[in-house]
Amino acid sequence: MKKTILSGSTVTGDLTLGNYIGAINNWTQLQDDYDCLYFLADLHALTVQQDPKLLKERTYSFLAQYVALGLDPQKNIIFAQSHVHQHAELMWILSCLTPMGNLNRMTQFKEKSEKHTKNINAGLFTYPTLMAADILLYQADKVPVGEDQKQHIELCRDLVTYFSNRYGEGILKMPEPFIAKTGARIMSLQDPTKKMSKSDENEKNFVSVIDDAKKIEKKIKSATTDSDIVVKYDLENKPGLANLLTIYSVLSKKSYETLEKEYEGKMYGHLKGDLANLVVETLAPVKIKYDDLMKNRDYLDQVLKQGADKASQRAQVTLGKVYDAVGLVRRP
Ligand code: AMP
Ligand code: TRP
């Protein structure tokens, strides 16, 4: 029996180099050896105000980005969260087990409520409980995410413990985070103390996976570094350069040491130029595939349908067990 992997991304903005390196690049490497489910977190997107038309468009765009980045719909179950109603239903059950105190500790909630001061809604607060439902419905063993999601997975693990203590062991499986050693936290290009985020208002802070070559080049070349001249991985004193080296290392599969040697006696500008070329090379085929997929709505709908059918079946098995365990009467 293959182990089950589940992950997703919130449907806002466009996927960034951070999403690719921290998450999707790892998803594509798992697709041959695991039973994988990857979804479009459209319900999660509603925690901040969305333009309904744009959200619809983005859901297709994200699906096309997933596939263009290498997720094969034949090898993975790819689906939209809102197409499987069991997510919202399991969330309710879990909400009744989630202590407010645990949610209060979530750094993403704190950050987002500072950013959206006029829209601090209950969904933003209970978002990690929905995320736990996403994971637990499919009895996932591992959840490949970037560093920023670790705390949410810890909450999910707490919820499994609370649930099992109250209703019995073995109904919900205890998941584990799966976080890569390198690249789990790609930083903003202009401010390397912040993570690269797809909802950043300043476009210069991130490279989107569907940016064109010119944009990519400009953004990488204008990334903040420091006034020193030695190419060395030093996270504390040279965070901007360290971030570029991390991107470089993951995309080229070369270690920091190898890169440091290659750039001995060379300037930062030289490294930035080479890195820009490498990113362009990596993403150019993605953009071509993406543009192609976006012209083929029927195909995208077919992927969504197939994914939703498969995911629903599996989700219902878990939800049925949970409803039984908590004492809800089966519909006669
Ligand atoms: P999000 O953009 O929050 O929907 O995240 C989707 C996935 O990408 C999650 O697994 C995140 O942990 C991961 N991710 C987001 N931003 C970054 C980043 N800057 N570096 C590494 N991973 C990231
Ligand atoms: N919260 C995640 C993010 O913003 C996306 C997400 C929602 C997710 N549900 C999930 C990731 C379940 C992994 C598993 O990055």
142, 150, 195, 266: the catalytic one is 195
Q: Does a structural domain hold residue 200?
A: no
Per annotation, catalytic residue among 56, 75, 194, 198: 198
175 with 215, same domain? no
The reported pTM is: 0.95
- Is 246 within a domain? yes
Q: Is any ligand 2 atom within 6 A of the Cβ of residue 271?
A: no
Pairwise CA distance, residues 183 & 179, whole Å = 9
Nearest to 39 by CA among 138, 157, 146: 138
Q: Find out whether the beta carbon of 8 lies less than 6 Å from any atom of ligand 2.
A: yes
Cα 260 to middle of ligand 1, angstroms: 27
Q: Assess whether 281 and 310 both reside in one domain.
A: no
pLDDT of residue 116: 87
Total number of domains in the chain: 2
The token duo for 237 is: 């004193």
Domain around 152: 4-184+297-326
* pLDDT at res. 67: 98
What pLDDT sits at residue 252?
97
> Does residue 205 belong to any structural domain of this protein?
no
What residues in the chain have per-residue pLDDT under 50? none
Q: What is the CA radius of gyration of the chain?
A: 21
Residues 111 and 44 occupy one common structural domain: yes
- 215 shares a domain with 161: no
pLDDT for 78 equals: 98
The reply to whether 189 falls in a domain is no
CA of 165 to the centre of ligand 1 (A): 32
Decide if 72 is inside a domain. yes
Contacts for 266 with CB less than 8 Å, ≥ 6 apart = 231
Distance 222 CA to ligand 2 centre (A): 30
109 assigned to some structural domain:
yes
Residue 146 and residue 226 in one domain: no
Residues in a beta bridge with 144: 178
| 125 and 253 inside one domain | no
The enclosing domain of 107 has a CATH number of 3.40.50.620
Mutate to test the pocket of ligand 1, among 19, 182, 209 (most ligand atoms within 8 A of CB): 19
